[in-house]
């Protein structure tokens, strides 16, 4: 009974933070609201006897990824945008999709309440670290290795895209740009003389 009450408290907190995330026009406030959603989800994972997933949720999402998001927001230095009047129809589309999501939530809640109760074996809970590690390196070893190779390819691609020009290539680019600017100035002076 206590876990059910805690679930509804944390679920309500997550929904409130998600509404705050969408409501705020300042992206920094929205990012802080997203941290609130991540913390509430982590608390829900704790109530579901998945402490490892809760810790990963806090460390990875609320910690590392949100620091990266806030860094990008501050780096971009976003100004307040003017409201777009041509996208007003999206409010109706969003309201319709929200009603569909609400109906789906009630259906899932109804289906869970009607399903028969089964006893949970606490020794074989999915969220324990030992079970996750053994599943990752036995049954799901190939997908883990594929993800590792994809991340390595992404890092190599990022390094290649961010590398600097060699000095000879950089001089060539600068010389071409200076020649283009001189030609433009000569054309502008010729137009003035006419």
91 Cβ partners below 8 Å, 6+ apart?
A: none
pLDDT-above-70 percentage for the chain: 78
Question: In this predicted model, what pLDDT tens digit does every residue of 87-112 receive, in sequence order?
Answer: 777 788 888 998 998 999 899 888 88
Task: Locate the domains of the chain by residue range.
Answer: 1-125
Q: What is the pLDDT of residue 39?
A: 92
The mean pLDDT of 139-154, rounded to a whole number, is 87
pLDDT at residue 16 greater than cutoff 50:
yes
Q: How far apart are CA 96 and CA 89, in angstroms?
A: 11
CATH number for the segment(s) 1-125? 1.20.120.1200
The mean pLDDT of 52-79, rounded to a whole number, is 80
Q: What is the pLDDT of residue 136?
A: 82
User: If you search the block for the tokens 């990266």, which residue do you land on?
Assistant: 68
- Max Cα distance, the chain (Å): 92
pLDDT at residue 114 greater than cutoff 80:
yes
pLDDT at residue 63 greater than cutoff 60:
yes
């Amino acid at each position: 009974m206590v876990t059910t009450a805690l679930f509804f408290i944390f679920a309500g907190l997550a929904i409130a933070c998600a509404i705050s995330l969408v409501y705020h026009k300042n992206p920094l406030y929205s990012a802080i609201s997203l941290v609130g959603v991540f913390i509430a989800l982590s608390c829900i994972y704790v109530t579901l006897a998945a402490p490892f997933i809760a810790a990963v949720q806090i460390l990875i999402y609320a910690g590392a990824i949100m620091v990266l998001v806030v860094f990008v927001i501050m780096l971009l230095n976003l100004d307040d945008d003017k409201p777009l009047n041509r996208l007003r129809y999206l409010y109706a589309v969003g309201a319709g999709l929200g009603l569909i999501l609400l109906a789906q939530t009630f259906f899932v809640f109804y289906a869970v309440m009607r399903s028969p109760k089964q006893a949970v074996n606490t020794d074989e809970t999915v969220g324990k670290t030992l079970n996750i590690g053994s599943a990752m390196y036995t049954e799901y070893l190939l997908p883990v290795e594929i993800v590792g190779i994809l991340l390595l390819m992404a890092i190599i691609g990022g390094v290649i895209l961010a590398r600097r020009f060699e000095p000879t290539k950089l001089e060539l680019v600068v010389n071409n740009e200076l020649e283009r600017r001189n030609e433009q100035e000569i054309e502008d002076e010729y137009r003035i003389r006419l």
